A = this chain, B = another copy of it.
């Protein structure tokens, strides 16, 4: 690396999403008045985010510095890297840069949101170079579980920042779609000031298997299957889809596609030339039943046991067009994402019950899945290629970042040059010296239906309470004149107990509310807030004693 001359401006690097978590990746590299944003992903809700559909990063910082943002540069087309775009672009209308397949997927997303016209999209290739005032952006090809993935290289007067994107090193990639290890080597040779690298598999020793090995396993499965073969996998894993197509061709089977996202990705990938489907192989789902079973394959969504997906509906015998038959072979060519293990397990159970032969990636069974992220040896290889002065592990839970940090130490990076950051923590580099320099505002923006950010901690706390022990609504009408009870109290409960079996309990609860009100209105305490508090306390105490439950209690007092 060339020694940097004294700069007036500073280089700042931070994450709006993607560190200390898996998902909603969004990284910011700012040099002076130029901001480069890398990716704009979404995250699926944690189990305590009840009722939430998706989560995106808080982009307050970017909105406050709108005029500095040069664009959003995408590493690849996965939801955790592009899924936030429709929400983000609504408020931050900046150009989006991406490779062909990535932009193809983004465009389908923007179209659906009715935002295609107003978004400037710029197609880049692995050898594109984009020059801004003092900053230059270029790319390098990587291997990942979706084609057209790139790492991003940002040249600044302070030095070069490299963001790997999601990557593995696949030495035998499908379609000979090799990572550009030579360019990585050159970048490293020229000198890297800071490396931001994917930590997903930092806990996993060794090397990640080659995608091509999955192809061999699939062919084996297809050859041995005496009847239909149904394969569920990630729709976006285009190389995997290609291998399913190849296995179907190899065994002379027609292929039907099921599931909205599967149809969508296959359409886009085939149009853009990333997927090669033999003429006449595709058939409509309706035709499947008219073909001999050993001439049929089906490619489906649902590899995560998602409740509404095609495979889950087949497993529950509620799919309109596909019925699982004894002797069918079902391949789940995916590992469950942490948190989905039970859903996937249940799907496998149901499929077995229907008499299917199930091959599930689960625990590495059958060789029908490999990860798209490099394991420890590959992460070390990237570190050794780039030889960065500073290292910032990204894309992972805290423990993964931490393990990645240990790997960096093991290849000779100084411990004090490794920055494990929380969301929004800024690594500032000035005149070649890096330090943590405060924190910009960050957070989760929760999306529930059409609502963006209107569900926060209080709403979530209430949902949690409601989910545990339900709610009791206590309604009573008091006379304005003398505070006497005119009507009620009525107690209505939901999610608390079976009302029929608990009449005695609810009758007693009613007496307690009446008694409390009579006592208080007798004492002439006519302030409603206090009445409500007393009703809540008395009833809550009684119910806890009787049931050891704490339902939400909502007293409603009307005056007439």
Q: Which residues of A contact B (CB under 8 A)?
A: 20, 46-47, 50-51, 203-204, 338-339, 341-342, 345, 348-349, 352-353, 358, 362-363, 365, 397-399, 402, 448-451, 454-456, 458-460, 462-471, 473, 475, 477, 486-488, 490, 492, 494-498, 501-502, 546-549, 552, 554, 556, 558-560
A470 and B51 in contact, given A358-B399, A475-B475, A558-B477 (Cβ under 8 angstroms): yes
Is there contact, CB below 8 Å, between A349 and B397?
yes
A435 to B49, CA, bound (A): 48
The reply to whether B475 and A470 contact each other, CB–CB distance below 8 Å, is: no
Q: Which of A486, A496, A559 has the most CB of B within 10 A?
A: A496
The answer to whether B352 and A398 have CB atoms under 8 Å apart is yes
Residues of B within 8 A of A490 (CB): 556, 558
Report 17 cross-chain contacts, Cβ distance below 8 Å, ordered by A residue: A51-B549, A203-B362, A349-B399, A352-B399, A449-B469, A449-B547, A450-B547, A454-B497, A454-B498, A459-B498, A462-B470, A462-B494, A463-B468, A463-B495, A466-B470, A471-B471, A492-B554
CB within 8 Å for A560 and B458 given contacts A363-B204, A492-B554: no
Knowing A494-B554, A546-B450, A554-B494 are in contact, say whether A463-B455 is a contact too (CB < 8 A). Answer: no
- Shortest CB distance A396–B (Å): 10
The answer for the CA separation of A490 and B341 in the assembled complex, in Å, is 44
A467 cross-chain contacts in B, Cβ below 8 A: 50-51, 463-464, 466-467
Q: Across the interface, which residues of B come within 8 angstroms of A338, CB to CB?
A: 341-342, 345
CB-based contact B549/A448 at 8 Å:
yes
A268 → chain B, closest Cβ, in Å? 26
Chain B neighbourhood of A488, CB < 8 A: 558
CB pair A341–B341 under 8 Å, yes or no, is yes
In the complex, chain B residues whose CB is within 8 Å of the CB of A349: 20, 397-399
A334: shortest Cβ distance to chain B, in Å? 16
Q: Decide: A398 near B450, CB < 8 A? Known: A204-B363, A556-B556.
A: no
Q: How far is the CB of A329 from chain B (nearest CB, A)?
A: 14
| CB-defined contacts of A471 to chain B, threshold 8 Å | 466, 471, 494
Chain B residues within an 8 Å CB radius of A454: 497-498, 501-502
B456 to A498, Cβ gap below 8 A? yes
Q: Is the CB of B466 within 8 A of A495?
A: yes
A454 to B556, CA, bound (A): 26
A397 to chain B, nearest CB (A): 6
Find chain B residues with CB under 8 A from A203 CB.
362-363, 365
Is the CB–CB distance between B469 and A448 below 8 Å?
yes
Check A497–B451 contact: CB distance below 8 A. yes
Nearest-neighbour CB distance to chain B for A261, whole angstroms, equals: 19
Nearest CB in chain B: distance from A214 CB, A: 19
> Among the interface residues A51, A365, A455, A458, which one has the most CB atoms of the partner chain B within 10 A?
A51
Is there contact, CB below 8 Å, between B348 and A487? no
Which among A204, A358, A560 has the greatest number of chain B C-beta atoms within 10 A?
A560
Q: A353-B398, A471-B471 are in contact. List 10 more A-B contacts (CB 8 A).
A: A50-B468, A204-B363, A338-B342, A345-B399, A352-B399, A454-B497, A463-B470, A473-B556, A477-B560, A490-B558
Q: How far is the CA of A547 from the CA of B450 in the complex (A)?
A: 5
Given A363-B203, A399-B345, A473-B554, A498 and B546 contact (CB-CB distance below 8 Å): no
Residues of B within 8 A of A492 (CB): 554, 556
Q: Which residues of B contact A475 (CB under 8 A)?
A: 475, 556, 558
Most chain B Cβ neighbours within 10 Å, of A47, A50, A341? A50
Task: Report, nearest first, the 8 A-B pairs whose CB atoms are least far apart.
Answer: A449-B548, A467-B467, A466-B466, A462-B495, A349-B398, A463-B495, A51-B468, A449-B549
Q: Cβ of B552 and Cβ of A451 under 8 Å apart?
A: no
Q: Do A345 and B473 have beta carbons less than 8 Å apart? A: no
* Cα of A54 to Cα of B471 in the assembled complex, Å: 21
> Closest residue to A552 on the B side, CB-wise?
B494
Interface centre among A339, A398, A399, A501 (most CB of B within 10 A): A399
Given that A448-B469, A459-B498 are contacting pairs, would A348 and B554 also be in contact in the complex, using a CB cutoff of 8 Å? Answer: no
Query: Is the Cβ of A473 less than 8 Å from the Cβ of B470?
Result: no
A560 & B487 in contact (Cβ 8 Å cutoff): yes
Nearest opposing residue in chain B for A477, CB measure? B558
A202: min CB distance to chain B, Å: 12
Distance A495 CA – B462 CA, assembled complex (angstroms): 5
Chain B: minimal CB distance from A49 (Å): 11
Inter-subunit contact A549/B451 (CB<8 Å):
yes
Q: How far is the CA of A495 from the CA of B342 in the complex (A)?
A: 27
Name the B residues within 8 Å of A560 (CB-CB).
Answer: 477, 486-487, 560
| A464 to B398 Cα, complex, angstroms | 31
For A457, the closest partner residue in chain B by CB is B498
* Complexed CA–CA distance, A203 and B475 (Å): 55
List B contacts of A496 (CB < 8 A).
459
Instruction: Return the contact of A558 from the options B20, B402, B497, B558 (Cβ within 8 A).
Output: B558
- Roughly how many angstroms separate A494 CA and B358 CA in the complex, as a whole number? 44
| Min CB gap A45→B, angstroms | 11
